[in-house]
């Protein structure tokens, strides 16, 4: 829609430059591909994630200097890993390569610093992850995705209250993001606030009943409340919408976060 308007009124879409003395512009076709990529990435299904990666790659093909498209591709690789579709080191290697290219083009791009932090996070490189998260948030404190993933980092650092606050901030910055809402539900769950996690998951499902992650979050919270039949029903709904998610249901915690917690050798609460 934005691209169509730009064509009609002949507006030049300008991307924030690293050096304000040498402004650059993004080609509308590349911007359109990037927007499609982000839309598909937010759906979080395997098919949509693969399509989002192709959109980011197409944006790069159209405009090889478009730094945010490389960050988008990095995020797609990492979310494929989050969902269990790519091996961790394979995903992080690809993501770091894309994020590094984005930073070569624009070292002040918050998106790329956050993508890099997310990759370090999955490699258990805590210090590098923290530095990159803090740099990304410093560069753009309004970038919702930075607070989204920083919440996960804080949770693994055994700072559940701070994690909840960051997740809620991400949600307030991007109130239409179902992923941000489910991340808030996950942080509440990990902190032991099961009733709030249940309500948050239900709120997501009122908006999008097909969102598998919200069904899974709901099932985990139900299970902790002792509502076994309700939990089974929620997990079945998640499985129907995302068969690959069945791999996760053998744990009370998401597979990725569970491995991170074990790596830190910490109790969450």
pLDDT digits (tens, 9 = 90+) for 30-41: 999 999 999 999
Q: What is the pLDDT of residue 24?
A: 55
**CB contact at 8 A, 139 and 244:** no
- What is the CATH number for 256? 1.25.40.10
**What's the mean per-residue pLDDT of the chain?**
85
Domain-located, residue 145? no
Domain-located, residue 54? no
Q: How many domains does the chain have?
A: 1
CA distances from 10 to 3, 5, 29, 61, 251 (A): 10, 8, 13, 23, 53
Please report which confidence band the pLDDT of residue 243 belongs to, taking 50, 70 and 90 as the band edges.
Answer: low
Q: What is the pLDDT of residue 1?
A: 52
Domain-located, residue 60? no
Domain-located, residue 225? yes
Please report which confidence band the pLDDT of residue 23 belongs to, taking 50, 70 and 90 as the band edges.
Answer: very low
Q: What's the maximum distance between 2 C-alpha atoms anywhere in the chain?
A: 62
Q: What is the pLDDT of residue 216?
A: 93
pLDDT digits (tens, 9 = 90+) for 95-146: 999 999 999 999 999 999 999 999 999 999 999 999 999 999 999 999 999 9
Domain-located, residue 69? no
Domain-located, residue 95? no
Domain-located, residue 56? no
- Which residues form the domain of 178? 164-269
Domain-located, residue 212? yes
pLDDT digits (tens, 9 = 90+) for 208-239: 998 888 999 999 999 999 999 999 999 999 88
pLDDT digits (tens, 9 = 90+) for 173-201: 999 899 999 999 999 999 999 999 999 99
């Amino acid at each position: 829609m934005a691209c169509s308007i730009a064509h009609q009124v002949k507006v030049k879409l300008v991307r924030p430059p690293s050096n304000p003395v040498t402004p650059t512009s993004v080609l509308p076709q590349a911007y359109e591909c990037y927007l499609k990529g982000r839309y598909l990435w937010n759906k979080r299904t395997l098919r949509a994630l693969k399509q989002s990666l192709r959109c980011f790659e197409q944006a790069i093909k159209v405009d090889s200097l478009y730094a945010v498209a490389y960050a988008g591709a990095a995020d797609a690789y990492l979310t494929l890993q989050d969902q269990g579709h790519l091996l961790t080191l394979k995903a992080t290697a690809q993501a770091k390569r894309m994020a590094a290219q984005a930073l070569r083009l624009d070292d002040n791009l918050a998106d790329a610093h956050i993508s890099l932090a997310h990759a370090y996070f999955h490699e258990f490189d805590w210090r590098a992850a923290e530095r990159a998260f803090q740099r990304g948030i410093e560069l753009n404190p309004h970038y919702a995705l930075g607070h989204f993933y920083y919440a996960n980092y804080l949770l693994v650092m055994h700072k559940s209250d701070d994690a909840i606050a960051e997740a809620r901030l991400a949600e307030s910055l991007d109130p239409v993001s179902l992923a941000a809402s489910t991340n808030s539900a996950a942080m509440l769950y990990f902190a032991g606030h099961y009733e709030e996690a249940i309500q948050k998951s239900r709120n997501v499902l009122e908006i999008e009943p097909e969102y598998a992650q919200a069904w899974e979050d709901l099932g985990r919270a139900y299970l902790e409340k002792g509502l076994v039949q309700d939990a089974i029903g929620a997990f079945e709904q998640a499985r129907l919408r995302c068969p690959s998610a069945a791999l996760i249901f053998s744990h009370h915690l998401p597979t990725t976060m569970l491995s991170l917690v074990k790596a830190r050798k910490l109790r969450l609460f």
